[in-house]
Structure 1
Amino acid sequence: MAKSVVALTLVLGIFVASTSAFVPTLIEKLWPGQESDGVFDTVARIPYSDLLNDNPYVDPFILHSMKRYGFFYVVDVPEYSALEELEYMQKFFELPEELKSDVEISSHNPENKNAYRGYCPGLDDVDSTLQYKNVFNIGPHEVRAPFTGSLDDALEKLRYECSEPNVWPTTDNCTFDKGFKEVFQVGFELRRNVARAFIRSISRALEMPNLPSLFNEDEFSAMGLRKYPVREQINANMYSDFDGTLLRELEHVDSTVTVLSTFNNDGLEALYKNQYSKAPVTGDNAFLVNIGKLVDDIIDNQLTSVRHRVVEVPYTRYSITYFLGPAFDADISRSMSGKMTEAGHKYRIFGEWIKDYLGAIELFYY
């Protein structure tokens, strides 16, 4: 660890010169050793309050970790209990299917109007690695105004679709219903705060002052409560093409900004120097933050959009993923330096991109 401290002190040059007595202690706090294979021991761990308060000392630590590894941790989140979230998740997924069907998305229950927010059983394809999971999806909207635009205006229809309100479980246990809704409304805001503060941090570190304006609205941000049941059968589709490892979730790169909770569940691995290694769990009071390809293109690929996966584990695994995308009308066709992005060859604004991302999901109800 001493060599890491010396190297990082040199990297942080000017910052160190102004706070020389403070930095070694600070580095030890933000880069503590982890109980892992050692590859990710020096991934940054940023205190929540300092990140949210825009304390500029966190910027070089986040930048270094994002450039080198593609992710970092947010720790010491006040008044947040991962254990409470996990308990509510487990209770919801254990509810009888007839109760959960009331909040199923319409592709699973045609009697419901909610197309994206709500419950997706997702266990239809036992041969699939990606889809063998239960998901409850939560968004930023609790109500939505009536549609008053023209049905011939595709973008206006899409804007309405993207503001689909949340649905929440209703059982004979009012205490559970109230607690579930309140806990995950708070959890959604915590994660949105983290994602936006991260955008502000890298906009300062990369000297891209216009970046935060692309995220002033988040019409289609989403938080997914995920349950990965234990598989009863294994087949060839579940093995990695990269190294033959048995997987729960295939190797992939995200698209936007991700705030992840793995609780104390192992399984997450990230690619570093052409090898997958175990990422430390988020535990009881932390989040993992990484960036996706779409957003990385917007910032001229200054960071690492990390490829990651989930390996098979012999137990039911839970996680929560939050995704922050740009505003509906945000121009994603050009990077901060004015270069055309990969998405820009087909799309001008994020709303157009999200339409294709949703694929065959039918959202429009009025």
Structure 2
Amino acid sequence: MLKLTLLLGVLLVPAATLDLSALIAQLWPNDSAGVFDSVARIPYSDLMNDNPYVDPFVLHSMKAFGFFYVVDVPDYSAEAELELMTTFFGLPEDVKADTEIRAHNPANPNAYRGYCPGLDDIDATLQYKNIFNIGPHETRAPFFDNTLDSATEKLRYDVQEPNVWPNTADCDFDKEFKETFQAGFELRRGIARAFVRSMSRALEMPGLPSLFTEDEFSAMGLRKYPERRAVNTNMYSDFDGELLRELEHVDSTVTVLSTFENGGLQMLYNNEYKNAPNSGNDFIVNIGKIVEDIIDNELMSVRHRVKEVEFARYSITYFLGPSFDADISRSMSGQITEAGIKYNIFGEWIKDYLGAIELFYY
């Protein structure tokens, strides 16, 4: 293939003479005009097969922009996912209540996995979105061992909470919803892990993948941002005054994002927020602060936000965290990380990040 031949040839060129930005723009052009034209667009099969030619392109894009795209994903349909999401969020609230998290429906045991309808005052809250959370577990131990008085062991049990799935009068929809998003979870998890391996090779950090051998609290959130009925004055950006749907932030771990054809996502570039091209049938990939610290700040966690839009906006965000017992206190070079000032392992960090967990015994 011409593209592969050219790229393999590029790797033989001395780094000082290599114009990666121009080459990426040539080989992976983007239809939109703007500053992000040269963000890398990495073929899914090559990333998943650990083809080393992708590494310098991932590296360049992450250093220059803080994100890249994974494209040409076989047998994936963003349209099918979006249709199922739209159907689920359009169900009557009493039907969705069966999957609500315990904070909204005390009759349910699930604390994290399932439906979170947001706060009651939906025009005032900063978190104006509905979420359906999916995790890596379908089953877990039937009960918590009360003889284990360690808070860490209790937390380890709690974060293995199994998924809950819609149970409506439409059995075909329930089956398709579950199977589609189980497959979608595995697809995104595979991309995130392949990205970790690519970072490991490109940055010559062979120990990095060992921190991600398990992913007890990885999560995929199906998100709907309803149209606002009123302007929330707290949602104006302190940075530039833009009215926002999602405030400026950086992520924590590894992110695989689907925006479909919904505009609104903006990335900070050269101290200015720029519109990120929609993912369409592809995926946007970036890292968060914990990962940035672990890799000695060699790549950046891009600050991003969602500006206000005049339509109901849907997206899917997948987060791959380190293993529960992964040491996040020191970077790959042995430096104390920001998280390491207070925490030793990722499980300790996630406890504070999520807040207090209520016990529920089956």
Under a length normalisation based on structure 1, what TM-score does the superposition of the two structures give? Answer: 0.92
Residue 279 of structure 2 is aligned to residue 266 of structure 1: no
Answer whether contact 1:69 1:272 (CA < 8 A) is retained.
yes
Answer whether contact 1:129 1:247 (CA < 8 A) is retained.
no
Report what 2:199 is aligned to.
202
Distance 1:132 1:232 in 2: 11
Distance 1:138 1:235 in 2: 29
Answer whether contact 2:126 2:234 (CA < 8 A) is retained.
no
Deviation track 1:88-113 (CA, whole Å, cap 9, x = no partner) reads 00000011111100000000000000
- Which residue of 97, 104, 107 maps to 1:108? 104
- Structure 2 unaligned runs (5+)? 1-5
**Residue identity in the other structure for 2:94:** E
Report what 1:234 is aligned to.
231
Deviation track 1:294-323 (CA, whole Å, cap 9, x = no partner) reads 111000010010000000010000000000
Report what 1:172 is aligned to.
169
Superposition deviation, residue 365 in structure 1: 3.5
Report what 1:67 is aligned to.
63
- Structure 1 unaligned runs (5+)? 1-8
Distance 1:64 1:213 in 2: 24
Deviation track 1:153-192 (CA, whole Å, cap 9, x = no partner) reads 1111000001000000001111000000000000000000
**Residue identity in the other structure for 1:142:** E
Change (3 A) 1:174 1:126: closer
Residue 26 of structure 2 is aligned to residue 32 of structure 1: no
CA-atom RMSD in angstroms: 2.1
Report what 2:293 is aligned to.
297
- Which residue of 44, 47, 51 maps to 1:51? 47
Distance 2:51 2:146 in 1: 43
Distance 1:294 1:310 in 2: 22
- Mapping 1:1-366, distance limit 5 Å: 14-16=11-13, 27-28=24-25, 30-36=27-33, 38-128=34-124, 130-146=126-142, 147-148=144-145, 150-283=147-280, 285-362=281-358, 364-366=360-362
SS of 2:267's equivalent in the other structure is: strand
How many residue pairs match? The answer is 351
SS of 1:40's equivalent in the other structure is: helix
Deviation track 1:71-99 (CA, whole Å, cap 9, x = no partner) reads 00000001000000000000000111111
**Residue identity in the other structure for 2:203:** L
Deviation track 1:287-346 (CA, whole Å, cap 9, x = no partner) reads 000100011100001001000000001000000000000000000000000000000011
Change (3 A) 1:15 1:278: farther
Distance 1:199 1:149 in 2: 36
Superposition deviation, residue 236 in structure 1: 1.4
Superposition deviation, residue 27 in structure 1: 3.5
Superposition deviation, residue 136 in structure 1: 0.1
Answer whether contact 1:129 1:238 (CA < 8 A) is retained.
no
SS of 1:321's equivalent in the other structure is: strand
Deviation track 1:122-159 (CA, whole Å, cap 9, x = no partner) reads 04243556411100000000000132363421111000
SS of 1:245's equivalent in the other structure is: coil
Change (3 A) 1:333 1:94: same
Change (3 A) 1:185 1:125: same
Answer whether contact 2:11 2:53 (CA < 8 A) is retained.
no
Distance 1:14 1:179 in 2: 44
Change (3 A) 1:80 1:363: farther
Report what 1:5 is aligned to.
none
* Amino-acid identity (%): 74
SS of 2:340's equivalent in the other structure is: helix
Superposition deviation, residue 363 in structure 1: 5.2
Answer whether contact 1:49 1:77 (CA < 8 A) is retained.
yes
